[in-house]
Amino acid sequence: MIDIKFLRENPDIVKENIKKKFRDSKLPLVDEALALDAESRENKKEADNLRAERNKISKQIGGLFAQGKREEAEAMKRLVTEKSDELAAREAKEAELAEKIKNIMMQIPNIIDPVVPIGEDDSKNVEREKFGEPVVPDFEVPYHTEIMEKFNGIDLDSARRVAGNGFYYLMGDIARLHSAVIAYARDFMIDRGFTYCVPPFMIRSDVVTGVMSFAEMDAMMYKIEGEDLYLIGTSEHSMIGKFIDTIVPEETLPQTLTSYSPCFRKEKGAHGIEERGVYRIHQFEKQEMIVICKPEDSKAWFDKLWKNTVDLFRSLDIPVRTLECCSGDLADLKVRSIDVEAWSPRQKKYFEVGSCSNLGDAQARRLKIRVNSKEGKYLPHTLNNTVVAPPRMLIAFLENNLNADGSVNIPVALRPYMGGKEKLIPNA
């Protein structure tokens, strides 16, 4: 969410940004917000005048009584009451206008970084770098669920009977591999100086609307019926929410946290052959990283965050690349985003395994997170990035470490988390 003062002073920049994001339907919101803002400022001016008049008259009443001018004093009291009633109406109007402005401002996209490529959808995302050599083996790589089934490692049928489509049971070595990856990712981030955290897995609506747009919320979040609680779609939500309505001492910045959580998502519109198995599901686990920092440090932290994910995947012998998300592929709150994609030997292409985002001060403004410095208070920047989400990581891991005989190599870095095993051997 951008600052109303910025909108007031730069309406053309805001409109041009909306066009760059191909959200032309939102262009009228700018003029609506400006009109309401002008009305609000005029209303506030009138309220201030009424308040000053009422206070001035109130001070005169005591003197009139002291002079024995009772009738004049009573007339003044009636006038104070009239002014108070009129002021109350102005204050109610002020609150009403503020809410309308807030609702509109929350729909206007954040200003994107100048480096973001302009494009309508993810087909216009731009490859930045490749890390590791993508290899296509001389044997056929099965679909990931077929690999897992060789280890008796997945049961989709039982999950379907218990919970429906989009859920799974992981079993045996595959379940252990899943947990090992999470534990390794946790320690990987701790070793890089991040503080480990296990957050709440449910959050209130004011946190939800503070961290994402209404459209994202509707597409992603599960609501707990009868309560003001939502299941988190990623621990970023509750981790940023941890700082809601707080004043953070500047000397404690940057706040660098890595968090584990289950994640729950509706995944509206998920379909197609690559949506089978555990590629796109309603429930999964994830290790996340978030940073709250000074505005001038956010660009440097953005690069550090996505590089953490690249380094982790490379330590597990998985080739990856980075994609700069184009303007039309950015959610409204995002200033910039880079996707990390892992190589799929089976598909002979890369697929998304994580996303790194800089949200500028948008979340801080919505959640009223402020920093206290010697020069005064200001809004920090917030960033987030996926360390690893094992369902998709498992796909990349199994495909890239698969041998012709069906066994799966365990990279050196992961062996301590797998009881020292160097290889997984299929059951049949």
The predicted-structure confidence for 69-113, as pLDDT tens digits, reads as follows: 888 878 888 888 888 888 899 999 999 999 999 999 999 999 999
CATH classification number, 122-424, choose in 3.40.47.10, 3.30.930.10, 3.40.50.1000, 3.40.50.10860: 3.30.930.10
Given 91, 274, 352, 407, the catalytic residue: 352
Point out the catalytic residue in the list 40, 355, 357, 370: 355
- Nearest residue to 7 via CA among 102, 94, 97, 117: 102
Q: What is the mean pLDDT of the chain?
A: 93
User: Per the structure block, which two tokens stand in for 125?
Assistant: 């995302």
Q: Does pLDDT of 275 surpass 80?
A: no
Which residues, 6+ apart, have CB-to-CB distance to 66 below 8 Å? none
The question of whether 373 is a catalytic residue gets the answer no
| Residue tagged active-site, from 280, 336, 346, 366 | 280
Residue 330 has pLDDT above 90, yes or no: yes
Q: Name the pLDDT band for 276 (thresholds 50, 70, 90).
A: low
Q: Report the C-alpha gap between 363 and 295 in whole angstroms.
A: 13
Catalytic residue among 54, 265, 366, 370: 265
The pLDDT value recorded for residue 273 is 40
First to last CA, the chain: 55
| 23 classed as catalytic | no
Q: Where do the structural domains in the chain lie, given as residue ranges?
A: 4-105, 122-424
Which of 336, 365, 392, 399 does the annotation list as catalytic?
392
CATH class given for the domain over 4-105:
mainly alpha
- pLDDT at 393 > cutoff 90: yes
What distance in Å separates the CA atoms of residue 110 and residue 19, rounded to the nearest whole number? Answer: 12
In this prediction, residue 386 carries a pLDDT of 95
249 vs 410: CA distance, rounded Å: 44
Would residue 265 show up in a list of annotated catalytic residues for this protein? yes
336 is catalytic: no
Measuring CA to CA, which residue among 340, 328, 364 is closest to residue 248?
364
| DSSP β-ladder status, 247-249 and 255-264 | unpaired
**This model's pTM is above 0.75:** yes
| Residue 55 binned pLDDT confidence (cut-offs 50, 70, 90) | confident
If phi over 0 gives left and psi between -120 and 50 gives alpha, with beta otherwise, what is residue 193? left
| pLDDT category of residue 329 using cuts at 50, 70 and 90 | very high
pLDDT digits (tens, 9 = 90+) for 3-53: 999 999 999 999 999 999 999 999 999 999 999 999 999 999 999 988 888
Whether residue 352 lies in the annotated active site: yes
| Residue 78, pLDDT score | 86
Helix count (H) and strand count (E) of the chain? 13, 18
Q: CA 388, CA 137: separation in Å to the nearest integer? A: 25
